[in-house]
Amino acid sequence: MKLSDKVLKGDVPAAARLIRCIEDELSGAAEELENVYLHTGRAHIVGVTGAPGTGKSTLLGCLIGIFRKKDMKVGVVAVDPTSPFSGGALLGDRVRMQAYGVDKDVFIRSLASRGWKGGLAKATVSTVHVMDAMGKDVIFVEAVGSGQGEIDIAHVADTVILVLTPGMGDEVQMMKAGILEAADVFVINKADLEGADKLKLDLEIMLGMQARTASGWKPGITLTEATRDKGTHEVAEELRRHREFLISSGELAKRRQERARLELLWAVESHLKTHIDKMDPEHLAKLVDDLAQRKTNPRSAAQKIIAEISSGG
Amino acid sequence: MSPERKLRVLIAKPGLDGHDRGAKIIARAYRDAGFEVVYLGLHQTPEQIVNATIQEDVDLVGLSCLSGAHLYLFGEVVKQLRERGAGDVTVIGGGIIPKEDIPKLKKVGIKEVFLPGTPLEQIIRWTKKNVKPLN
């Protein structure tokens, strides 16, 4: 049986192996993924983002528990940064979710960003597809990031949770954060710390100032103490409320369209890049040299390469 | 030119002992050597370790134990890995382990044991030589 067929039956080792094959771009992985993709689109994809140290993983641990009590199957994709110096990574998000480490309906997979910008890893979307095809009802994607400029999560998820904590910085800091415009659910964790109320007020003002919610969504701000599992049910309720809104307003369909468009562009880019990586180095060097010598121009050189791809060269 | 495959490693402390400095040092050393390290932390049961090993599709599991329960715990991890079809994952151990126990551990499937004081470069070199990405 092919890996993808096993995945559709919910086979965890097969899914884990397939994710690894996709991550490492092994031959055959792309074809398996094609099969998997046809069976996706059911799960609620929830992105969790925020600066390091805000308690995303701990909060996620609580949310997993809440969804499990509702008998929902849960997937978690936890992304941590790859060191630009060593190429290695310390994947430490799982530590905080190990209470569900033996729950057969919880699948947690840690991914290293491997240099991918935007807060995610190249294999994130594919990993979400695999978990979706396995039958997960909700898939959490925990992203790396300070929240500024790392907004890929908004393109990958149906609902984005932004986790903040008091003392992180002032109003000006928040104004710079693009993620503020992309998040749907706002959580102030470690709410027992001083400054929580002021942060809530600042956030309310910021959100009030935004013209973003043309969709009609009114975000709420939840105060939590994830280490004590306080306020976490309210967060789960916000997730449910947003999901309902997405469906009833038609926003879900819109976001899915946008996501499909982005996936298409990413796939095209990836295909082109693969072709260039596989090009005969001498042939590529000649093109580069012609360019440097002004014997050709960038556009013509690019069109030459694209023509080669089209003719199967 | 496809990228060279990265080794995925899991570091865990089975059982009740609460000293994780050694485990963290190894985890960081592996990261600095270019590996992707899933750090599982303290107080893990063999079942939790095995489950994580399978979900994360790691090539190597490093177990640390300072409480003396290594013979049981390490053996149990290997046993369960084999029962669940993940017997090809390399398992190594470290911690407070009497030299006499090393042959016993190897007999139950622990590929190598690194005692306190072993230079990190030695552990990294051994790993690069003996562990390859599974497929």
Backbone angles phi, psi at A65, to 5 degrees: -60, -45
Q: Please, which residues bridge with residue A161 across strands? A: A48, A185
Nearest residue of B to residue A89, measured between CA atoms: B36
State how far residue A106 is from chain B, nearest Cα, in angstroms: 10
- So what's the pLDDT on residue A176? 62
Q: How far apart are CA B55 and CA A154, in angstroms?
A: 26
3-state secondary structure of B10: strand
CATH 3.40.50.300 fits A44-119+136-250, yes or no: yes
Give the domain B8-130 fold.
Rossmann fold (3.40.50)
- So what's the pLDDT on residue A51? 83
Q: What is the dihedral of CA B11, A10, A266, A255, to 10 degrees?
A: -110
Contacts of A33-37 spanning 24+ positions with Cβ under 8 A: A33/A4, A33/A126, A33/A129, A33/A130, A35/A2, A35/A4, A35/A5, A36/A4, A36/A7, A36/A8, A36/A129, A36/A130, A36/A133, A37/A129, A37/A133
Weakly modelled stretches of chain A, pLDDT under 70: 145-150, 169-177, 209-214, 313
Cα A198 to its chain centre, rounded Å, is 30
- Answer whether residue B123 shows pLDDT above 80: yes
Nearest to B44 among A88, A98, A278 (CB): A98
Nearest residue of A to residue B54, measured between CA atoms: A13
A237, two tokens: 């309720």
Which amino acid is present at A152?
A: D
- So what's the pLDDT on residue A171? 56
Residue B31 contacts A, CB cutoff 8 Å: yes
Going from the C-alpha of A54 to that of each of A21, A62, A160, A303, the distances in angstroms are 32, 14, 15, 47
Task: Test A83 with B38 for CB contact under 8 angstroms.
Answer: no
Phi-psi region of B99 (alpha: psi -120 to 50; beta: other; left: phi over 0): alpha
- So what's the pLDDT on residue A272? 85
Residue A84 contacts B, CB cutoff 8 Å: no
- So what's the pLDDT on residue A177? 61
Question: Tens of pLDDT along B68-84?
Answer: 999 999 999 999 999 99
**Apex CA B24: angle with CA B18 and CA B29, to 5°?**
155
Which one is predicted more confidently, B49 or A49?
A: B49
- So what's the pLDDT on residue B1? 38
pTM: 0.90
Q: How far apart are CA A109 and CA A103, in angstroms?
A: 14
- Of the candidates B62, B47, B1, B8, which has an alpha carbon nearest to the alpha carbon of residue A17? B8
* ipTM of the complex in this document: 0.93
- Answer whether residue B2 shows pLDDT above 50: no
Q: Please, which residues bridge with residue A82 across strands? A: A89
Question: Tens of pLDDT along B14-41?
Answer: 999 888 999 999 999 999 999 999 999 9
- Of the candidates B42, B81, A14, which has an alpha carbon nearest to the alpha carbon of residue B92? B81
All CATH 3.40.50.300 domain ranges of chain A, comma separated, are 44-119+136-250
Mean pLDDT of chain B: 94
3-state secondary structure of A302: helix
Give B-chain residues touching A95 at CB under 8 angstroms: 39-41
Is A224:A231 a contact under the CB 8 Å cutoff? yes
- Of the candidates B131, B1, B24, B135, which has an alpha carbon nearest to the alpha carbon of residue A280? B1
State how far residue B42 is from chain A, nearest Cα, in angstroms: 9
